[in-house]
Structure 1
Amino acid sequence: MKMEKLLVLLAGQSNMAGRGYAGPDDLTVIPNLLMIRPDGKWQPAVEPITKDRPFVGTFSASGQKIVGRDPFETVLPEGDQKVCGVGPGRTFGRLLAEAEPERIVGLIPGAVGGTSIAAWMPGGVDDWDANNHPYDDAVRKAREAQKSGKIVAVLWHQGENDAKKQTPDYAGKLRSVVRNFRNDLQLGPEVPFIAGDLASFYRAEIGDHVDIVDHALEILAAEDPSFLIVHTKDLNHRGDGLHYDTASQHELGKRYFEAWRKFTGR
């Protein structure tokens, strides 16, 4: 009997979607690491895993620059024709694929850059594109993926938007997001929800507002043993004060995986 895929849901905003510039290793096919496309088909998981925005720094086959819609991207360096979109998901997936060489690992890209926590409620709308519904779209893709596998982790990185806006009761809203994902995707407590905190470089940009998010993560971790925090304070940005650079995204993926491995004992 064919074994189920080991599925990993990637959700949140741009630092989960990824804004690092890809190198050759990020574009190399790993035989037992796949990603699901919006049409439900599977393909090799090469960067960019999450195609949430047409990024500045991305070029067409003819070499013409594609101008991004994401307002956080319009002020960034173009990256010398490198693919923009490296996040932590592929590194996590690679490590899981190496740990489980007989299994197929399937990534479910669901993160959307610039989104607030409100966009991650059922029926919520993308802050920058009213045609996108981040939570609903992520659940739809995850349910399609579940037809051939089982979700073993939810990786979450979000909050820069809400920290800047000082969103009231962020902890309560995030608690609802976690509960909704668990209920709608039938995820038991054996499936960890792993969240990254906000980097020190973002504190330098907006001050103590980052505590709105970081304190919320601590609250949820204290009340839910399967809610895990990955720390990012020492990681670096790519020159914009907001997005992790490629090396930091690779390290972040390792930290997500180590948190998962420690939790599951695998």
Structure 2
Amino acid sequence: MDQCGRYRQIRLCKMSEKLLVLLVGQSNMAGRGYAGPDDLIPLPRVEYIRPDFKWVPAIEPITKDRSFIGTFDADGKKIVSSDPFETVLPNVRQKVCGVGLGRTFGKLLAKDNPDRTVGLIPAAVGGTGIAAWLPGGVDDWDGTNFPYDFAIQKAKEAQKNGKIVAILWHQGETDAAKQTPDYKQKLKTVVENFRRDLGDDTIPFFAGYLASFYNPDIMDHAAIVDDAITELTEEIPGFYSVETKDLNHRGDNLHFDTESLHTLGERYYSVYEKAVKG
């Protein structure tokens, strides 16, 4: 069954069009998992669009949101890597960009649609609060980066080659740490803006809950984020939640490990599949 469609109903489209999936949020959507051999080989009919708008095979990392490798030199300046990714063994330091959940989602979507190509649109940016995902919102770590605006630009370019069938969202760690009382209203606005600016008010939107492994002393406002997701699932048509309980971090109590990201990609797809099939 072709899945170029709306939530709870399937709508026909040209077989030559890609099935597009927009990946947005912060670092746990961008992906910080360590790469294994399977993450570094092409998948049949799964591509992603680069920042220069070229389509290439979906080999990790598909989201290159940060070049900062997480350390400083003796003068306190950030050390920037020309290669934002490396395959890692447990005893080798991980650079910032890594394995995410989107590629697993894309693999499953392609498997269920053997005559179609899946096009991933990676636009997540690590460390971004929800304010950065409003029109004109700025990345707190890079004043030249406007995450929402760039995501729309990239998605519209991708739409020349296909139809967006899902928006995958994982965000909220930044807001859980600093408290954003109006998080729910902002998230609702994010959903409305994406649908409006991408020209389809029926695009299904999938939001993952925050992980259960965060230090409560740091993420002491996590309930604001999770409650917003739960409530919007009931209030917004085509808004779906994805469970993150029992998943593991990569050793930093912040980012999902590779196995958990693969599992999370499967969970997003399971919810998506139920949504489009009704």
Fold conserved between structures, TM > 0.5: yes
* Contact 1:20–1:245 under 8 Å retained in 2: yes
Q: Which amino acid aligns with 1:131?
A: T
Partner of 2:57: 44
Is 1:263 the counterpart of 2:275? The answer is yes
* Most deviating of 111-120 and 83-92: 83-92
Query: Which of 249, 258, 261 matches 1:249?
Result: 261
* CA distance in 2 between partners of 1:2 and 1:192 (Å): 20
Asked if residue 179 in structure 1 is aligned to residue 197 in structure 2, the reply is: no
Structure 2 CA distance for partners of 1:100 and 1:209, relative to 1, 3 Å: same
1:236 matched to which residue of 2? 248
1:56 Cα deviation from its structure 2 partner: 2.7
Query: Which residue, out of 105, 130, 134, partners 1:121?
Result: 134
Q: Give the letter aligned to residue 243 of structure 2.
A: H
- Deviation, structure 1 residue 205: 4.9
TM-score, with length taken from structure 1? 0.89
Quick one: which amino acid aligns to residue 46 of structure 1? Answer: I
- Could you say what secondary structure the match of 1:202 adopts? coil
Residue in 2 that maps onto 1:89: 102
* Preserved contact between residue 171 and residue 217 of structure 1 (Cα < 8 Å): yes
Q: 1:211 offset after TM fit, Å? A: 0.1
Partner of 1:73: none
Alignment-mate amino acid for residue 241 of structure 2: I
Instruction: Mark the CA change 1:10 to 1:241 in structure 2 (over 3 Å): closer, same or farther.
Output: same
Equivalent residue for 2:227? 215
Secondary structure in 2 aligned to 1:241? coil
Q: Which amino acid aligns with 2:211?
A: A
Shift in Å at residue 14 of structure 1? 0.2
Partner AA of 2:130 in structure 1: I
Aligned to 1:170: 183
- Point out the more displaced range, 150-159 or 219-228: 219-228
Task: Tell me if 1:161 matches 2:192.
Answer: no
Matched residues in 1 for 2:90 and 2:148: separation?
Answer: 30
> What is the deviation of 1:81?
6.1
CA RMSD of aligned residues (A): 2.2
Q: Give the deviation of 1:226 after TM superposition.
A: 0.7
Per the TM alignment, residue 82 of structure 1 is displaced from its structure 2 partner at its CA by 6.0
Q: Which amino acid aligns with 1:162?
A: D
Contact 1:119–1:134 at 8 Å: present in 2 too? Answer: yes
Q: Are residues 128 and 175 of structure 1, via their aligned partners in 2, closer, same or farther at CA, if it must alter by over 3 Å?
A: same
Quote the residue 1:104 is aligned against. Answer: 117
Gaps (5+ residues) in structure 2?
1-13, 71-77, 82-88
For residues 53 and 207 of structure 1, the distance between their equivalents in structure 2, rounded to whole angstroms, comes to: 22
Describe the SS at the equivalent of 1:131. coil
Q: Distance in 1 between matches of 2:68 and 2:240?
A: 30
Q: Percent identity?
A: 63
Amino acid at match of 1:176: T
The alpha-carbon deviation at position 192 of structure 1 amounts to: 1.1
The answer on whether the counterparts of 1:194 and 1:228 sit within 8 Å (CA) in structure 2 is yes
Q: 1:204 to 1:233 in 2, by over 3 A?
A: farther
Match of residue 227 from structure 1: 239
Residues 22 and 82, structure 1, Cα contact 8 Å, conserved in 2: no
Cα contact 1:40–1:145 (8 A) shared by 2: yes
Q: Distance in 1 between matches of 2:46 and 2:143?
A: 32
Secondary structure, counterpart of 1:101 in structure 2: coil
| Distance (Å, rounded) in 2 between the aligned partners of 1:100 and 1:2 | 10
Tell me: CA distance 1:209–1:169, structure 2 relative to 1, closer, same or farther (3 Å): same
Cα distance in 2 for partners of 1:130, 1:252 equals 31
